[in-house]
Amino acid sequence: MSQLPTHETKRLLLRPFAMADVKDVQRLAGDWAIADTTLSIPHPYCDGMAEEWISKHQQTFDQEEGVTLAITRKPDGVLLGAISLIDISKGHQAEIGYWVGKPYWSQGYCTEAASAVLCYGFSVLGLIRIHARYLTRNPASGRVMQKLGMRHEGCRRQHAMKWGKCEDVELYGILKSEWEETLK
């Protein structure tokens, strides 16, 4: 069993979640605005959900199926959100997903964290493709993907059900060779 990784960026420390993060996860992920703009976060975010979610991270990593990390600010350790690579197909591809608490929106934290996770996926995991998706009505998530150099690959019309309503889902992706070009 290996340890979940940590990554440092200019302003952030991406680290494994700990049970000490439960209250912050529940507060941030429990915000209706977060649940409303993501495909998988429920609302209300009930007691016990954060513990259950965090408790699965190491096993998912050990099975080489995913890696989920806390996005924290380096100077004070404040939890800002979460970032993941999920559905890892070893040596091939994975999906990147993220959420950032509403008080920390529009400060570049998500793009900074996602850039580090792309580097991990391509350089450490040896992936050749990383893809992402977002609800069409959440263009801020799409802007993060564009800043990372990801390309629009299509729209799945009425693909997801959220709050009893069909939602369009935008698809983005980046190949390792394209990511390497962004580094030049």
* pLDDT tens sequence across 20-64: 999 999 999 999 999 999 988 989 999 999 999 999 999 999 999
Would you say residue 87 lies in a domain? yes
Would you say residue 2 lies in a domain? no
Q: Kindly state the DSSP code that residue 123 receives in the 8-state scheme.
A: I
Total number of domains in the chain:
1
CATH number for 71: 3.40.630.30
> Phi first, then psi: what are they for 104, rounded to 5°?
-110, 10
Query: Which residues span the domain enclosing 157?
Result: 7-182
Would you say residue 1 lies in a domain? no
pLDDT digits (tens, 9 = 90+) for 152-174: 999 999 999 988 899 999 999 99
Would you say residue 108 lies in a domain? yes
**Distance of alpha carbon 96 from alpha carbon 31, whole angstroms:** 21
Judge whether 120 and 126 are in contact, CB under 8 Å.
no
Would you say residue 171 lies in a domain? yes
Judge whether 100 and 81 are in contact, CB under 8 Å.
yes
